[in-house]
């Protein structure tokens, strides 16, 4: 089966006033169809650059990016992107924000409105279609942004620290809701985060990155059964996986040993 996304020996170097700056160096991995891959690394290691390469918004300096086996040479349309902030348009109601995707793409608005309403029901916001963003909590706004990323039925979803701005309790709730949504849809997902527990709880594999220039320190197999719940974080295997990733970061000087 063709992988949803393949990066083959990808390097990204920027030219700056002080000389070349390599953000990513020789990244080599793939995401299978239907896989949830977490990308975990310190600030400045090139995680967001990785997403711009995967989406075709930037080209690698070296190496190849393939989307479903085809070289990525321009912005990819068959993806959904969820950003760090919800980026909702304040003057558009919830349903109208979600329908921005089909509207821009020139799709059948009636058909996609049905899908948008189904997604809202799926994330528990079916009664909020007519509300404006300012009438929603932070977690609700981010659910709307996830619906917007999924409404055109992309097979690959890129998520750039989507819960980073939420409070701890809301974040935990959103992580579990995303997990349930993934179990239902089985989209291919690349999920960027700083949070070790979040990365492990959600993913089938965790790509751990080194400090800049970002390289693959290790791809950790998460051999935990599905579905997962907050109780999963109390199991010996989960605790061992967290300890393993922390040890990797200690080896690279990202975390101090105490």
- Give yes or no for residue 31 having a pLDDT over 90: yes
Higher model confidence: residue 164 or residue 227? 227
Q: Write the pLDDT tens digit of every residue in 159-176.
A: 998 888 788 888 888 899
Confidence at residue 106, expressed as pLDDT on a 0 to 100 scale: 83
Q: Say what the pLDDT of residue 153 is.
A: 85
pLDDT tens for 199-220 read: 999 999 999 999 999 999 999 9
Give the pLDDT confidence of 14-25 residue by residue, as tens digits: 988 888 999 999
HEC string of the chain equals CCCCEEEEEEEEEEEECCEEEEEEEEEEEEECCCCEEEEECCCCCCHHHHHHHHCCCCCCCEEEEEECCEECCCCCCCEEEECCCCCCCCCCCHHHHHCHHHHHHCCCHHHHHHHHHHHHHHCCCHHHCCCCHHHCCHHHHHHHHHHHHHCCCCCEEEEECCCCCCCHHHHHHHHHHHHHHHHHHCCEEEEEECCHHHHHHHCCEEEEECCCCECEEEEEECCCCCCCCHHHHHCHHHHHHHHHHHHHHHHCCCCCCC
pLDDT above 80 for 40: yes
Domain at 1-78+164-258, CATH from 3.40.50.300, 2.40.100.10, 3.90.470.10, 3.40.1260.10: 3.40.50.300
pLDDT of 1 > 80? The answer is no
If pLDDT is split at 50, 70 and 90, which confidence band does 225 have? very high
Q: What is the pLDDT of residues 110-127, one digit of tens each?
A: 888 999 998 898 888 899
pLDDT digits (tens, 9 = 90+) for 44-97: 888 889 999 999 999 999 999 999 888 988 888 888 999 888 889 999 999 999
Flag whether pLDDT at 105 surpasses 90.
no
Every domain range in the chain assigned CATH 3.40.50.300: 1-78+164-258
The predicted structure's pLDDT at residue 173: 86
Its pTM stands at 0.91
């Amino acid at each position: 089966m063709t992988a949803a996304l393949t990066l083959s020996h990808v390097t990204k170097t920027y030219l700056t006033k002080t000389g070349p700056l390599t953000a990513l160096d020789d990244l080599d991995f793939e995401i299978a169809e239907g896989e949830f891959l977490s990308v975990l690394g310190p600030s400045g290691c090139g995680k967001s650059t990785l997403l711009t390469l995967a989406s075709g918004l930037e080209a690698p300096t070296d190496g190849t990016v393939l989307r479903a086996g085809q070289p990525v040479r321009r912005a990819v349309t068959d993806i959904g992107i969820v950003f760090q902030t919800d980026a909702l348009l304040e003057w558009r109601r919830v349903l109208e924000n979600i329908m921005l995707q089909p509207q821009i793409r020139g799709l059948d608005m009636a058909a996609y409105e049905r899908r948008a309403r189904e997604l809202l029901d799926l994330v528990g916001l079916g009664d909020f279609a007519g509300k404006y963003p300012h009438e929603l909590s932070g977690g609700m706004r981010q659910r709307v942004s996830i619906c917007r990323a999924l409404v055109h039925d992309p097979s690959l979803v890129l998520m750039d620290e989507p819960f980073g701005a939420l409070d701890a309790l809301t974040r935990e709730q959103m992580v579990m809701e995303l997990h349930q949504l993934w179990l239902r849809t089985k989209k291919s997902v690349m999920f960027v985060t700083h949070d070790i527990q979040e990365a492990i709880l959600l993913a089938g594999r965790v790509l751990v990155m080194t400090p800049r220039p970002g390289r693959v320190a290790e791809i950790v197999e998460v051999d935990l059964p599905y579905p997962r719940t907050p109780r999963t974080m109390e199991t010996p295997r989960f605790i061992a996986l967290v300890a393993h990733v922390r040890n990797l970061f200690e080896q690279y000087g990202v975390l101090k040993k105490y």
